[in-house]
């Protein structure tokens, strides 16, 4: 039996593994809500920079995260009423997000905001600790991954398509440094769960990955 009647599909994994795209499509296919937990850490980082707070200062950032004036309206993310949906995707914010996310107090401060996304008929949540910490009773847990080289190529293509200048070598290096920070932090590190949660997307298209997740979910539902 589930502790909560509202189903959660937790999709965790390293940067550029395709989690966001896959989670959104799985949510659309099932008519579920969607939580982009990384966006909360990104907004926290942006807010700290705006207010002149050092992202490495755990106490200051935690105090700020507790009253973070963030709101979600569909795909639009607002910080104190200003649309920051685009601004939080900048590469500098990606790095700072992983710094603020390493503070235990910040993670605790953002916990209930994430759990509030759990609404009927269900939720697809993507991040690093969706299955391990935020929704440990998730109906389905997926650890979506791919090799660092493939992830760097995907991120590179994405940036070029958006019209940004991008260097593959630099992207690979940044991605590895973020992987290292996300995996080595003391609290809620990025870790694969049970072996049957791993979905390695090397050589798979987004559609194939979405289908694989939906198939896993169908199996779980059929078994319950």
| Length of the chain counted residue by residue | 224
Q: Determine if 41 is a binding residue for ligand CDP (CB under 6 A).
A: yes
User: Which residue, 60 or 91, is less far from ligand CDP as judged by CB?
Assistant: 91
Q: Determine if 44 is a binding residue for ligand CDP (CB under 6 A).
A: no
User: Which residue, 98 or 145, is less far from ligand CDP as judged by CB?
Assistant: 98
Tell me which of 20, 58, 105, 193 binds ligand CDP, using CB under 6 A.
Answer: 20
Alpha helix (H) residue ranges in the chain: 19-30, 37-50, 58-66, 91-100, 104-115, 148-161, 168-184, 206-223
Residues 85, 76 contacting (CB under 8 angstroms): yes
Q: Tell me how far, at minimum, the Cβ of 176 lies from ligand CDP, in Å.
A: 12
Interaction with ligand CDP in 123-142: which residues (CB under 6 A)?
A: 127-129
- State how far the alpha carbon of 31 is from the alpha carbons of 34, 96, 159, 220, in Å: 9, 33, 29, 17
Q: Determine if 103 is a binding residue for ligand CDP (CB under 6 A).
A: no
Binding mask 135-174 for ligand CDP (x = CB under 6 A): ----------------------------------------
Q: Determine if 118 is a binding residue for ligand CDP (CB under 6 A).
A: no
Q: Determine if 61 is a binding residue for ligand CDP (CB under 6 A).
A: no
Q: Give the strand order in the sheet containing 70-73.
A: 70-73, 76-79, 82-83
User: Which residue, 122 or 127, is less far from ligand CDP as judged by CB?
Assistant: 127
Tell me which of 7, 8, 38, 144 binds ligand CDP, using CB under 6 A.
Answer: 38
User: Which residue, 7 or 88, is less far from ligand CDP as judged by CB?
Assistant: 88
Question: What is the full DSSP assignment across 153-192?
Answer: HHHHHHHHHTT----HHHHHHHHHHHHHHHHH-SSS----
Block residue for tokens 């969607």: 34
Q: Tell me how far, at minimum, the Cβ of 117 lies from ligand CDP, in Å.
A: 12
- State how far the alpha carbon of 183 is from the alpha carbons of 79, 129, 178, 195, in Å: 28, 11, 8, 17
Residues that bind ligand CDP (CB under 6 A): 15-16, 20, 37-38, 41-42, 94, 97-98, 101, 127-129, 178, 182
């Amino acid at each position: 039996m589930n502790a909560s009647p509202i189903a959660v599909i937790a999709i965790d994994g390293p940067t550029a593994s395709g989690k966001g795209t896959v989670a959104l499509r799985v949510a659309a296919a099932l008519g579920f809500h969607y939580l982009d937990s990384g966006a909360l850490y990104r907004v926290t980082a942006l807010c700290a920079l705006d207010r002149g707070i050092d992202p490495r200062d755990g106490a200051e950032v935690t105090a700020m995260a507790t009253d973070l004036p963030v709101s979600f309206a569909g795909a639009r993310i607002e910080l104190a009423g200003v649309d920051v949906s685009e601004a939080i995707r900048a590469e500098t914010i990606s790095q700072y997000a992983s710094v603020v996310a390493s503070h235990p107090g910040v993670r605790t401060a953002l916990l209930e905001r994430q759990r509030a996304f759990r609404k009927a008929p269900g939720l697809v949540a993507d991040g690093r600790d969706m299955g391990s910490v935020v929704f440990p009773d998730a109906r389905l847990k997926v650890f979506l991954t791919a090799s660092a080289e493939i992830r760097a190529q995907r991120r590179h293509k994405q940036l070029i398509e958006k019209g940004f200048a991008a260097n593959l070598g630099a992207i690979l290096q940044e991605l590895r440094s973020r992987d290292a920070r996300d995996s080595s932090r003391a609290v809620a590190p990025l870790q694969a769960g049970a072996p049957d949660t791993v979905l390695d997307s090397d050589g798979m298209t987004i559609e194939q990955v979405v289908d694989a997740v939906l198939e896993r979910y169908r199996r779980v539902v059929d078994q319950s």
